[in-house]
């Protein structure tokens, strides 16, 4: 009986670990629209977003790209991982930086610390 409990425990731990890895950047994602609606609340905080890559450019390991999750679009700056190709799906974790808000327009960026692609 003890061996069955140990095997079951190992299986549960493996499943939990797999879910944690899968959720790494994408799990707990904040809608981009929510970030842009309340930029001062998120400024300087680590956030997670997930979506499709729009414009993308990279050189010598640095990169910049746009992520669109259907609620909004945000620019992401990568300081060492280049930029993913346009059209790919990504999860990004990084520091949110509110640049400005002018009327109904908010300019913000996420300085990437971690990324997952699918």
The answer on pLDDT for 13 being more than 70 is no
pLDDT at 100: 74
Cα separation, 64 vs 78, in Å, equals 6
pLDDT at 30: 96
CATH number of the domain at 97, please: 2.40.50.140
Cα separation, 38 vs 1, in Å, equals 54
Q: What is the pLDDT of residues 32-77, one digit of tens each?
A: 999 999 999 999 999 999 999 999 998 988 999 999 999 999 999 9
Retrieve residue 116's tokens. 């997952």
Q: Which residue segment(s) compose the domain that 81 sits in?
A: 2-117
Q: What is the pLDDT of residues 16-41, one digit of tens each?
A: 333 333 334 446 899 999 999 999 99
Contact 77, 64 (CB under 8 A): yes
pTM score of the predicted model: 0.73
Domain count, the chain: 1
């Amino acid at each position: 009986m003890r061996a069955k409990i140990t095997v079951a425990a190992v299986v549960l731990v493996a499943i939990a670990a797999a879910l944690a890895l899968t959720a790494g950047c994408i799990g707990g994602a904040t809608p981009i629209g929510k970030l842009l609606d309340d930029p001062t609340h998120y400024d300087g905080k680590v956030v997670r977003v997930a979506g499709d890559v729009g414009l993308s450019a990279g050189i010598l390991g640095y990169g910049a790209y746009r992520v669109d999750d259907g609620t909004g679009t945000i620019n992401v700056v990568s300081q060492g991982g280049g930029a993913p190709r346009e059209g790919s799906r990504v999860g990004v974790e990084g520091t949110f930086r509110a640049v400005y808000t002018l009327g109904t327009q908010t300019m913000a960026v996420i300085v990437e610390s971690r990324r997952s692609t699918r």
